[in-house]
Amino acid sequence: MTLPGAPRGILVVTGTGTGVGKTVVTAAIAALALARGERVAVVKPAQTGVGDPNGDVPDAETVRRLSGVTDTHELARYPDPLSPEAAARTAGLPPLDMHAAAEYVGELAAARDLVLVEGAGGLLVRYDAAGATIADLAAGLDAPAVVVAAAGLGTLNHTALTCEALAARKVARAGVVVGSWPRRPGLAELTNLADLEVIVGEPLAGVLPEGAGALDRTAFLAAARAGLSSRLGGER
């Protein structure tokens, strides 16, 4: 059973940049959908920066740990922590085929209630030499996008630019989520909450607490419920 306002179909999770909390937000939406009894899949079209065994944990692994969703798919992996296009070029590996990725996601969606697609870096990060982006994937799939934003200085400009880029490509926006709200917010963070809503022209779709990615699965589900709005399946 789907809650009113909860996402269905394909939902792209993008961000205003790297390190803003896209993976945690993806996991939160996935956890809520799984708790509702939905058939959920999560796709990471291109994972970068996991070449060192002691380096970053792949995003799909983090999603599985936090949400309990095991239907995860990584379509390409590159060792260096660069944009997907640069990482593929540097490693001498073929770039992600965005057309094939769109077909793959579409096939998954035919047998799931929700497919979440998590981008790399910001919205317009390049995936191949032709300049394909996660925005192009969203447009090709006719899928709405959740924008994950930072809390502090710079986020107003970055969020406005990201939302304008989505609108220019006719990609529907499913909401803006602050991916990591600091335990001790300063003046910039506190004023940004209201100012972000002015910029996007609607209430925020969620605010997740700093450190949510370190919670156990039960606590993380509670944080997802409390932090995300009803349009993403939460209770905020």
pLDDT score for 126: 97
- Domain of 26 in residue numbering reads as 17-228
Residue 9 in any domain: the answer is no
- Contact between 82 and 51 under an 8 Å Cβ cutoff? The reply is no
pLDDT score for 55: 61
Enter the tokens of residue 68.
């309990």
Residue 147 in any domain: the answer is yes
**44 part of the active site:** yes
Q: Which DSSP state fits 52? A: S
Residue 179 in any domain: the answer is yes
Residue 10 in any domain: the answer is no
Catalytic residue among 21, 28, 44, 145: 44
pLDDT score for 56: 73
pTM of the model: 0.94
- What is the per-residue pLDDT across 32-63, written as a single tens digit (0 to 9) for each? 999 999 999 999 999 999 866 666 789 999 99
Q: How many domains does the chain have?
A: 1
Residue 214 in any domain: the answer is yes
Residue 76 in any domain: the answer is yes
For residue 140, give Cα distances in angstroms to 10, 33, 44, 133, 168: 11, 24, 16, 11, 14
**Integer Cα distance of 144 and 141 in angstroms:** 9
- What is the per-residue pLDDT across 216-232, written as a single tens digit (0 to 9) for each? 999 999 999 999 999 99
Digitized pLDDT (tens) for each residue of the chain, 236 residues in all? 233 456 779 999 999 999 999 999 999 999 999 999 999 999 999 999 986 666 678 999 999 999 999 999 999 999 999 999 999 999 999 999 999 999 999 999 999 999 999 999 999 999 999 999 999 999 999 999 999 999 999 999 999 999 999 999 999 999 999 999 999 999 999 999 999 999 999 999 999 999 999 999 999 999 999 999 999 999 99
Residue 223 in any domain: the answer is yes
Residue 142 in any domain: the answer is yes
pLDDT score for 57: 82
pLDDT score for 50: 85
Separation of CA 236 from chain center:
19
Q: What is the CATH number of the domain that holds 146?
A: 3.40.50.300
